[in-house]
Chains A and B, each alone.
Chain A
């Protein structure tokens, strides 16, 4: 299968704190991959390197064969851990903003999904609940026809019904030739939608396997294996 993401020897420290240590991996097209690890293990550091917000101290990243830069950013759709829309913007303005900014944005798709949420497009971001704010942001990110979707904690702090909406939105909208990376610690909620999982432990790659392999070899869910690998 065609390789979409390649990382070689990625390392990064924050002062004395380890971010990533010699991390190498290759992710093919057409997969939904979970990046799993406890808080502070390096998940967000990895995602930020893939989308160019952080520069590794050593190693390199290739997205669709190209180093991280303008070309790679055009094919990467990134959902940050925290919402970044201005509170003062209206939903309709955020949609305009995305359309102007991204050539691969599908406006009709975004509007259709926002309608199913029953949200008034004139509403300001500041008037939305936390759950709705996350949903709006995910809808916009998934409405791009990207090759790589990087979703950093897409379900952090929302209720189970909102989680269902978010998973459904991801499944319905990702492009079949694209890859989706989901970083999360809510493993039991996402494991059924994942092809493969990557465990990151203290900045290092601890495991990279398919969910089926884990179930067959260990007779365990990913959630149960995670608790075992990262037991305190």
Chain B
């Protein structure tokens, strides 16, 4: 059941990351209404209080907003949501580079590797 979580980070932070990813990829569109806290909690396989905490934090960051009786919505597209995608891309690349570094490869080596792989892909496509 539920989303995948790692052991060492508080769940609400991992939930926030999961939701940011959905917003960044457009899986949750700007202005879209969110399911209820309970529904999201069941989907993720977490406690409703934990989900509530994650949503409240995302509201504080301006990625979600609440209308008093109508529920919670994804923020309309603006700098915050636009910046999100960039932020996520950078964090993925950084993780990749950290892994390369721990194997003894520099940024340059990593770039060369990526180029090689992309050329291979192109050749496959032909």
Contact = CB atoms under 8 A, between A and B. Distances in A.
Interface residues of B, number: 18
A193 B8 contact: no
Interface of A: 30-32, 164, 167-168, 171-172, 176, 192-195, 211-212, 215-216, 219-221, 223-224
B47 A219 contact: no
A212 B10 contact: yes
Do most interface residues of chain B lie in helix, strand or loop, or is the interface mixed?
A: loop
Contact of A192 (B8, B9, B47): B47
B7 A221 contact: yes
Given A212-B12, A221-B8, A168 B42 contact: yes
B1 interface: yes
Given A176-B48, A194-B47, A164 B11 contact: no
Interface of B: 1-2, 5, 7-12, 38, 41-42, 45-50
Contact of B45 (A193, A211, A219): A193
B49 to A, nearest CB: 5
Nearest to A188: B7
8 contacts: A31-B49, A171-B42, A171-B48, A192-B5, A192-B50, A193-B47, A215-B7, A223-B7
Q: Which 7 A-B pairs have the closest CB atoms?
A: A221-B7, A164-B1, A212-B10, A219-B8, A215-B10, A171-B42, A193-B47
